[in-house]
Amino acid sequence: MRRERSLELIDAQSGGDVSRVVTAGIEPLPGISVLEKARFLEREGDGLRRLLLSEPYGDPAMSVDLLVEPGHPEAQAGYIIMEAMGYPLYSGSNTLCVATVLLESGMLPMADGPQQLVLESPAGLARITAVTADGRVESVTTQGEPAYVAERGLSVDVPEYGPVGFDLVWSGAYYAMIDAAAHGFALTADEQIALSAFGDAFVRTARPGLRQEHPSLGDLGPLPFVHVMGPVEVTADGRRVSRSATYVHPGVICRSPTGTGTSARLALLAGQGEIGPGDTLETVSPRGNRFIGTLGEVAQVGPFPAWHSRITGSARLMARSRLTVDLDDPLVDASDLEALLSG
């Protein structure tokens, strides 16, 4: 008898980054909070991430979001984020995609006009305003947990690149924030291979001894992200705009400017006194895709001054599919999949 299982998927993209939202086919995970469920999946069921982000079933440049029952009474749904680097606790582009999928698929009711949602990520609650019209989500604004600057003025000597200075910021994961001009980057599309090589060399060199702890979330694992920052320019109509590139280890340059990268940049600028609550920054990826970040109120995370922020963008549904998983296929690592996939 063939051992086959199926997964229901809805693929969406935000700023060009693809999120594969798993809507059915997975057994309920143990744990109350989404963080507990994510830790279980990482520990006992990582085959799902590897399956959906690897050939022939997927691609490491994608993300996967597994819908789960929320633990927080305010939340209408929960989601676990999986990427090439592992299990980020929060992601702006993934949140935009999940909110859009939930509304446009009918899993959550949708009415024209602004609509408030609360979703539970592993990092905590994401408070969302979705603007909808004619059955489509036109834009999503999400506010996750506050970001903070963990360490400033760090430096590491990277082979073939020399000394690289950076700041370490948490915004759903730890980011190394690096000045683009200091290393000759203009952050254009033709630099993506060079940016990936730079990011890979930097992360491999910088990881040992680098902070991994969050005051309330505990051990976050080794550094996963690099955000290479262009200068902040002010347009004729007063908007702040900055080119940026987010590297995800190993080997991925995001197509979007990333929501968490934008939040990290806002926290860095706020900590330097360059912006205040209500100020905005439009970030532009090497491929020209854009998110708008708005600095929110001041907060506190353990000993760190922190800042809330809101990220605005849009997502589009791309495909609805049923994926057949043959557990006897030699290209499928079934060791921790069989118990996870529902019959």
Catalytic residue numbers read: 91
Q: How far apart are CA 168 and CA 150, in angstroms?
A: 6
Tell me the sheet residues that pair with 18.
13
Report the run of H or E that residue 92 belongs to, with start and end: helix 92-104
Per-residue b or e along 183-204, where b marks 16 or more CB atoms closer than 10 Å to that residue's CB:
bebebeeebbeebbebbbebbe
Q: How far apart are CA 325 and CA 337, in angstroms?
A: 10
Q: Say if residues 305 and 85 touch (Cβ distance below 8 Å).
A: no
Cis omega before residue 56 (within 30°)? yes
Largest Cα–Cα distance of the chain, in whole Å? 68
* Nearest CA-CA partner of 4 in 20, 25, 21: 25
Instruction: Look up residue 2 and give its amino acid.
Output: R
* Nearest CA-CA partner of 112 in 136, 95, 96, 129: 136
Q: How far apart are CA 341 and CA 25, in angstroms?
A: 6
107: left (phi over 0), alpha (psi -120 to 50) or beta: alpha
